[in-house]
Amino acid sequence: MAYTTAAAAYTTSAAASYSTASYGSGSSSWGGSGYDSCVQQCMGSYGSMGSYSPPPSSTTNSSSSGSSGSSGTGATHTVIVAPTQGVLRYVPFAVNASVGDTVLFMWGANNHTVTKSSQLEICNKTSDAPFATGEQNTSFTFSQVVNDTNTTFFYCGTTGHCEKGMFGMINPPSVGQGQLGSVAAMMPAMMTNSSSMTAMQAYTNMMTANNSVAAAWGSSMDMTNIPDWAQQSFAENVMFTRTFLAANPETINDDGTVSLGNLNGNPLMIPQDITAVASSAAPSSAAAVTAVATETSSAGTAASTAGALKGTSGARSLQSSGFLIGVVAALLGAFVAL
C-alpha cells in the first residue's frame, strides 16, 4: 500500500449537562433469569458515558509525505486514534474500503501510533509494505491509500498499548452470518468462561437496545485465525465500537457501514471504555450468562435484515459530563475531498 501523512487540527470540548438517558433499559423487562438485575447494575455502576477531560492540545505536526505523495481517488474512511486520553481504541475498530479509497486516521489523544502488522503478529511491525507513523499527538492525521482488499492489521506501537487491545483492521476477514468462527458464534462461548465478558456484553446490549444495526455491527467478522491471546481484545473492540455507534446513531448507515462525515457538525459522544465495566463487575450468574448469549445471537440476526431500523439511542440526551470531540463537518468534508 502507498501512503501519505498530513497534519490537521480539530477542536475538543467538554460536554454540557444532558437530561436523562433513554436506552430502553431502566423501566423495561429484559426477560428475567438474572439478566434484569445485571443490566440495572450496569446502569447504576457504569453509566452511559465516562467523564473525561479534553487531552492537552499539542503543536500541530508539520506535514510530511510518504512514498506516494497523494491520496486515493475513491471514498475516505475516517478512523479515530484513541478518542480521548486513556481510551486505547481505534474507532471504528474496522473499516471496509475499496481499492483507491483512503483511510484517514485522526488522533484524539496523545502518544499513539498507527503501525502496520499482521494477523499472526498483531503487535509487531510487518515487513510487508510497512507503514508506521511514529508516536504522534492530538490533532495529527495520517492517510493510508488502499491498494488491495486484503485484510490489513494495524496497531499502536506505544509500549503496552497493543497488548491492551489497541489494534484495528482495514477490510476485516468475514464469514457468513453466525457461522463457526464469526464474532456472533464466538461471543457466547467467550462469555460462558468469563464473568467480565458477560458484564461487558450486558453493558453493550443496554447501550444498543434501541439500535439494532449498532447492536449487530461486526457480527460476521472472522476470528478463526486470531491468536488466542488477542481474541478477548478483538471482542472488546467490537463491543466498544457498538456502544460508540449507538451513542452517535447518525454515524452508522442502515447497511452497517460507518461514516463519521454524517455528524454534520454535531459533537462526537464518547462512551465509557468497555474494560471499565469488566474491572468493576461483580461475578455474574450462569442464568445471566445464558441471557446475554441469547441477546448476542439475536443481535447477529438483526444485522442481516434488509432495511433494518437504526432507531435512536438517546445518546444526545444523556445526563453526563462525558467527553466530546468536535470533529466538525468542515474538517471531515475537506478530507473526503482528498
- Convert the pLDDT of each residue in 104-116 to its tens digit: 999 999 999 999 9
Give yes or no for residue 101 having a pLDDT over 70: yes
- Residue 158: the pLDDT is 97
Report which residue type is found at 33: S
Tell me the whole-structure pTM to 2 decimals: 0.71
Q: What is the 3-state secondary structure (H, E, C) of the chain?
A: CCEEEEECCCEEEECCCCCCCCCCCCCCCCCCCCHHHHHHHHHHHHCCECECCCCCCCCCCCCCCCCCCCCCCCCEEEEEECCCCCCCCEECCEECCCCCCEEEEEECCCCECCEEECCCCCCCCCCCCCCECCCECCCEEEEEECCCCCCEEEECCCCCCHHHCCEEEECCCECCCCCCCEHHHHHHHHHHCCHHHHHHHHHHHHHCCCCHHHHHCCCCEECCCCCHHHHHHHHHHHHHHHHHHHHCHHHECCCCCECHHHHCCCCEECECCHHHHHHHCCCCCHHHHHHHHHHHHHHHHHHCCCCCCCCCCCHHHCCCCEEEEECCHHHHHHHHCC
d(CA 86, CA 84): 6
- Residue 39: the pLDDT is 44
- Residue 73: the pLDDT is 82
Q: Count the neighbouring beta carbons within 10 Å of the beta carbon of residue 228.
A: 6
d(CA 2, CA 157): 20
Confidence of residue 129 (pLDDT cuts 50, 70, 90): confident
Give yes or no for residue 269 having a pLDDT over 80: yes
- Residue 60: the pLDDT is 31
pLDDT in tens, 136-186: 999 999 999 999 999 999 999 999 999 999 999 999 999 987 788 999 999
Confidence of residue 281 (pLDDT cuts 50, 70, 90): low
pLDDT in tens, 59-96: 333 333 333 324 778 899 999 999 999 999 999 999 99
pLDDT in tens, 13-63: 333 222 223 322 223 333 444 444 544 454 444 444 533 333 333 333 333
Strand partners of residue 112: 136
Give yes or no for residue 270 having a pLDDT over 70: yes
| Domains in the chain: boundaries | 73-281
CB 143 within 8 A of CB 5: yes
- Residue 254: the pLDDT is 92
Place of cell 499539542: 58
- Residue 27: the pLDDT is 30
d(CA 233, CA 299): 20
Q: What is the mean pLDDT of the chain?
A: 72
Cα within 13 Å of Cα(285), Cβ side: 12
- Residue 257: the pLDDT is 93
CB 1 within 8 A of CB 144: yes
CATH code for the structural domain at 73-281 = 2.60.40.420
